Amino acid sequence: MARNEGAHERRIRARALRMWRAEGAPKGREAEYLERARELQAIEDHPRAGLLPNPTAGHPGEGPPDTPVEEAEIMENLGEFPDRLTDQGDRIETPLPKAEARRLAKKGR
């Protein structure tokens, strides 16, 4: 292990120990605090790691598009609205007596 790697590991262990003591030194959870300290140290060491580029910013050196982008139109009707007796407006929730079911079938429902 290189000299600065040893110092790095000591900083992580010291941070884990401080966090562990600050929360009352719970028994059997030392490894959990060590892992949390490693994650925090990695975030401090590499603050921009994991950041995704802003898709609306475009690519570096690229100008605005030649043709304008049209806005999406909002659809007037986004679907059926069920009433209190139907499930999504397509069927009756409760079973019907046979005579009633036959009558509805003849109507073409």
Helix locations, 28-97, DSSP H: 30-45
| Global confidence as pTM | 0.44
Distance (Å) of CA 29 to CA 5, 14, 15, 67:
24, 15, 14, 59
Task: Report residue 88 as tokens.
Answer: 């999504």
Q: What's the pLDDT score for residue 55? A: 67
Alpha-carbon gap, residue 104 to 90, rounded angstroms: 14
Residue spans of the domains in the chain: they are 3-45
Q: Which residues of the chain have pLDDT under 50?
A: 1
20, 29 contact by CB (below 8 A)? yes
Q: What's the pLDDT score for residue 34? A: 93
pLDDT in tens, 40-64: 999 888 888 878 776 666 666 666 6
